[in-house]
Structure 1
Amino acid sequence: MRELKHLLNSIIIKTFALTGIIALILIFGFVIKESIPALEKAGMEIFTSFDWYPTFDPPSFGILTMLLNSIILTIVSSLIVLPLGYIIAFFMYDYATEFEKRMIKSSIDLLSGVPSVIIGMFLIIYISPWMLEIGAWSAENILLASIGLTILSLPYTASLMEEAMSSVDISLKEGALALGTTRFIAGFKVVSKAALPGIFNAAILTINRIIGETMVVLMAAGGANMLPLSIFDPVRPLTAAIASEMGEVEIGSIHYSALFASGLVLLTISFILTLISKRLSRRWSK
């Protein structure tokens, strides 16, 4: 009877584990299948052209400008949220009292539950008017979208980094303190270095979350298909283009297929970043 229960538990666990793998394969297969018509007709123009005019005659399906917009927006947002998330995580791990830690965690949990469309509305109504006052020529721009992406992803980043630090054996920190190091040095150089695989993994997951976010960039980035010269310029990332055009495009058209090709690019980037994270985390752990 015990062996039968063990066999059933093993089958159930393996089934649920395989479900995620099968779902990932099906998603990749579906996106690739829908992208093939655009890849066959437009070819490398999709990845090398800056022109996105799908309704012109003849049409142009270059996504390079929007891809660069996504990358630029991700870099700017990451430069804000990753250091800020690390500072909050470090404070919660090493300096916060139990009451302060509970308060910060509660605030983070509440913030993580706010819908992205609400964050977008807050940015448009309250923050975007300030953009014009500080010299921006467009109220919706890279900086505004980066602020929204920071608000959206900060709880995720801080929680993961704090968990990575808390998972480090406390004896490492105690040993460093016993040798005469300060509390800050013990936490910053010893604990953070030991938690580096987890911190790096949190950074990669945050970047994946930022590059795949749709609603905030659709509402706050400006929607201009142009190469920006400053953080005050409007941009149109790939996710915003897909979200704004997918509902109006003719199903089965080359335009429809080109939007799926854009999604395939984002999916591939996310997949590559995840593989890099796993590989480096294993190497550092060893």
Structure 2
Amino acid sequence: MSTAFLTSWKVRIGLGILAFFCLLALFGPWAVHTLLGLDPRANDISAIAQPPSGEHLVGTNQFGQDILAQIVEGARGSMYVGLLGAVVGTAMAILVGVPAGYYGGRVDAALNFLTNLFLVMPVLPLILIVAGYLEGTGLTTIALIIGFFGWSGGARTLRAQALSIANRDFVRAMRMLGERGRRLVFAEILPHLTGLIASMFLHAMIGAVMAEAGLAFLGISDSSAISWGTMIQSAQQQSAVLRGLWWWFVPPGLCIALIGTAAALVNFGVDELANPKLRAARPASARRARRLARAGSGA
């Protein structure tokens, strides 16, 4: 299954982009500081709002801070929020949605009530209120808030899929053999949902990155932390668009767009792996293309 998954060019490109940003978040700040001698928080009064040049490859902002160093440092902040928010949201969706679909009855009624409660809640205003109330906290709190309020849609989807799998013959047979419900949930049903869970995780990750950028743009974030969102918010406050300082806000926005593109590409590959119709369509399309090529060469 993993070999077929990696044969898709969409998956390879998407995973390559995500791996690049993960490596950039892990080792980029050290490399920029050690090899280039750049500090994202250092102010150079002799180079204020300078365009890209040999000394500052991506230019500087209004405070004389190097944009390249801030982009690399911001990758760590944004990827941290994205990954932590996705882990929290996906874990809560699994813990609520899968048992609800398998056990049914009162368990399903209670967990489904909790899911519906979060579904009808105005998530964005709640995030704004909670994050605003906790203003000044770090990126960890922002990620936890995003993950806590972003799991209900995934739980509803997992519940429906778990309910379908729980009624299949092999699960009923294992129930008759006396298998425990916990083992059936985590060892039999959950593996059948890996494709869907992977897709949910990627969707939650880009959602968390964009949510953090939105919160930072509205000024509800840790002002001392550096992320792509805080860079865009700082550029907006200093009227970088009106002043033509494109190198200040375009690079972080482009990074966010690339993360979204990578997640979408991997998601397409997951769909092709998990959907039998798409798996059958890929070889058929390849055979049709070969027949057309042979017909064209024969003509």
Contact 1:71 1:211 in 2 (8 A): yes
Aligned pair count?
Answer: 219
Question: Is the 2:202–2:263 Cα contact (8 Å) retained in structure 1?
Answer: yes
The answer as to whether partners of 2:93 and 2:154 remain within 8 angstroms in 1 is: yes
Q: Check if 1:189 corresponds to 2:171.
A: no
For residue 242 of structure 1, what is the amino acid of its counterpart?
Answer: I
Q: Say which of 273, 281, 297 aligns to 1:283.
A: 273
| CA gap 1:253/1:223 in 2 versus in 1, 3 angstroms | same
Q: How does 1:256-267 map to 2 (within 5 A)?
A: 256-267=246-257
Structure 2 residue 113 is matched with structure 1 residue 106: no
| Aligned residue runs from structure 1 range 69-80, under 5 A | 69-80=77-88
For residue 223 of structure 2, give the secondary structure of its aligned residue in structure 1. Answer: coil
The one-letter code sitting in structure 2 at the alignment partner of 1:209 is G
- The answer to whether the 8 A contact 1:145-1:220 is kept is no
The one of 169, 177, 180 aligned to 2:178: 180
> Unpaired runs of 5+ in structure 2?
1-50, 280-299
Seen in structure 2, the aligned counterparts of structure 1 residues 162 and 237 have a Cα distance that, compared at 3 Å, is farther
Corresponding residue for 2:167?
170
Determine whether 1:240 maps to 2:230. Answer: yes
TM-score (norm 1): 0.64
Mapped to 2, the partners of 1:163 and 1:245 lie a distance apart of 44
Shift, 1:159, TM fit: 2.8
Rounded to whole Å, the distance in 2 between the matches of 1:124 and 1:74 is 19
CA contact (8 A) 1:246 1:256 kept: no
* Alignment-derived partner of residue 153 in structure 2: 156
Give the drift of 1:65.
Answer: 0.9
Change (3 A) 1:45 1:93: farther
Q: Percent identity?
A: 9
- Aligned twin of 1:45: 57
AA in 1 matched with 2:250: F
SS at match of 1:161: helix
Partner residue of 1:255 out of 233, 237, 245: 245
Equivalent position to 1:201, from 175, 199, 202: 199
In structure 2, C-alpha distance between the alignment counterparts of 1:148 and 1:253, rounded to whole Å = 35
Shift of the alpha carbon at 1:41?
3.5
CA distance in 1, matches of 2:147, 2:115: 17
2:223 is matched with which residue? 223
How far the C-alpha of 1:107 sits from its partner, in A, is 0.7
- Aligned partner letter, 1:198: L
Alignment match of 1:271 (pick from 246, 250, 261): 261
Q: Separation in 1 of the partners of 2:234 and 2:158?
A: 34
Q: Secondary structure at the match of 1:264?
A: helix
The yes-or-no answer on 1:115 pairing with 2:87 is: no
Secondary structure of the residue aligned to 1:222 is coil
Question: What is the CA-CA distance between 1:104 and the residue it aligns to?
Answer: 1.9
The letter for the 2-side match of 1:190 is E
Task: Give me the whole-angstrom Cα distance separating, in 1, the residues matched to 2:235 and 2:63.
Answer: 15
1:266 CA drift (Å):
0.9
Q: Secondary structure at the match of 1:180?
A: coil
Q: Residue 61 of structure 1 corresponds to which residue in structure 2? A: 67
Equivalent position amino acid for 2:81 in 1: L
Give the alignment's TM-score, normalised by structure 2.
Answer: 0.62
SS at match of 2:123: coil
